[in-house]
């Protein structure tokens, strides 16, 4: 599986570490938001093979901590002061075949509308999910959704926050949570969970007051061209009967141009291939690598 979630995580951690390393006055510290939400979901039967698992209605809880960007960096204002958050997510699937799941995600929460009492935000994040119960040919062969304990998770949602008191807000939201191991182990049909949320937020600062700052200059890279070369390496399982792991590789060469402070224009080819099995291979002198078919 080619994991592409590291970039978002690196950007979020870089921003958090940067804030921690720079001593600032108390009134300049980015304010925090602490939230606790209840969530109710259903499982999408996206293929006939999972129809037997979509009868239950999963429920769960989420605890999250968000840091409100406040204008200490120019990009905060460019993107209308988004929030950076960490969430812990719990689901009970009310089905002994699936059991429960636990996840930790990092995310960006971008406002579309903000007033003194109301906010409308779009949130997108990624992380790691853990399923104690998984597919087992002998004891749990009906679980063709989850075949590994560790899974990648993606989430996106639309949130509405309205003030109940000076620092407390009611949170209402709709979203989609997705869990999958990317075919590193099969069967892997994954879980898609349309979800509704209701909960409370505690705002360290409300209404939000960004730092005063004057106009910022355009980044020096605007109008400049660049070349980008990237590669990825992963592995996957072909099917349920073939338990061996096969390499997956890709290479991308792209030319780009920074067209404004928020956007790059990028164009280039990408090649990917699925290699041979590296498990049970034998290196023979003079003959190279020999793998069973």
pLDDT of residue 257: 93
Mean predicted confidence (pLDDT) in 235-242? 68
Residue 105 has a pLDDT of 98
Report how far residue 83's alpha carbon sits from residue 48's, in angstroms, rounded to the nearest whole number: 39
Average pLDDT score over residue span 48-66: 93
Quickly list DSSP for 160-225.
EEEESSSSEEEEEEEEEEEEE-TTSSSS---EEEEEEEEEEEEESSSS--PPP----PPPTTTT-E
**Stated pTM of the model:** 0.78
pLDDT band at 286 (very low <50, low <70, confident <90, very high): very low
Q: Model confidence over 160-209: pLDDT tens digits?
A: 999 999 999 999 999 999 999 887 787 888 899 999 999 999 999 999 99
Q: What are the sequence ranges of the domains in the chain?
A: 6-203, 225-290
Q: What is the pLDDT of residue 281?
A: 44
Summarize pLDDT for 58-89 with one digit per residue, the tens: 999 999 999 999 988 888 988 999 999 999 99
d(C-alpha 14, C-alpha 85), whole Å: 13
Stronger pLDDT, 190 or 288, i.e. the higher one:
190
In this prediction, residue 221 carries a pLDDT of 87
pLDDT digits (tens, 9 = 90+) for 11-36: 444 544 444 444 545 567 899 999 99
**Least-confidence region, from 26-35, 127-136, 242-251:** 242-251
pLDDT over 90 percentage in the chain: 54
Query: Measured at the alpha carbon of residue 226, what is the angle toward residues 224 and 227, in degrees to the nearest 5?
Result: 170
Position 4 confidence tier, pLDDT thresholds 50, 70, 90 = very low
Q: What is the CATH number of domain 6-203?
A: 2.40.160.20
């Amino acid at each position: 599986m080619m994991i592409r979630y590291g970039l978002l995580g690196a950007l979020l951690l870089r921003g958090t570490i940067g804030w921690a390393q720079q001593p600032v006055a108390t009134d300049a510290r980015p304010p925090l938001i602490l939230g606790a939400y209840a969530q109710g979901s259903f499982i999408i039967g996206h293929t006939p093979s999972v129809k037997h698992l979509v009868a239950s209605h999963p429920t769960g809880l989420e605890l999250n901590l968000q840091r409100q960007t406040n204008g200490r960096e120019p990009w905060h204002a460019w993107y209308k002061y988004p929030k950076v958050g960490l969430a812990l997510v719990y689901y009970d699937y009310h089905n002994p075949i699936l059991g429960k799941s636990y996840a930790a995600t990092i995310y960006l929460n971008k406002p579309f509308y903000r007033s003194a009492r109301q906010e409308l935000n779009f949130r997108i994040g990624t992380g790691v999910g853990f399923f104690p119960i998984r597919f087992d040919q002998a004891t749990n062969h009906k679980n063709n959704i989850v075949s590994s304990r560790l899974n990648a998770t993606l989430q996106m949602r639309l949130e509405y926050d309205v003030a109940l008191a000076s620092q407390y807000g009611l949170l209402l939201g709709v979203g989609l949570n997705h869990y999958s191991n990317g075919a590193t182990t099969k069967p892997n049909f994954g879980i898609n969970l349309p979800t509704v949320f209701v909960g409370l937020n505690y705002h360290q600062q409300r209404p939000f007051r960004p730092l005063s700052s004057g106009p910022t200059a355009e980044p020096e890279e605007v109008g400049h061209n660049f070349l980008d070369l990237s590669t990825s390496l992963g592995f996957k399982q072909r099917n349920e009967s073939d338990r061996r792991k096969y390499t997956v590789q890709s290479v991308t060469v792209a030319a780009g141009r920074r067209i404004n402070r928020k956007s790059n224009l990028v164009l280039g080819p990408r090649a990917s291939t699925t290699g041979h099995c590296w498990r049970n291979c034998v290196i023979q002198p003079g003959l190279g690598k020999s793998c069973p078919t």
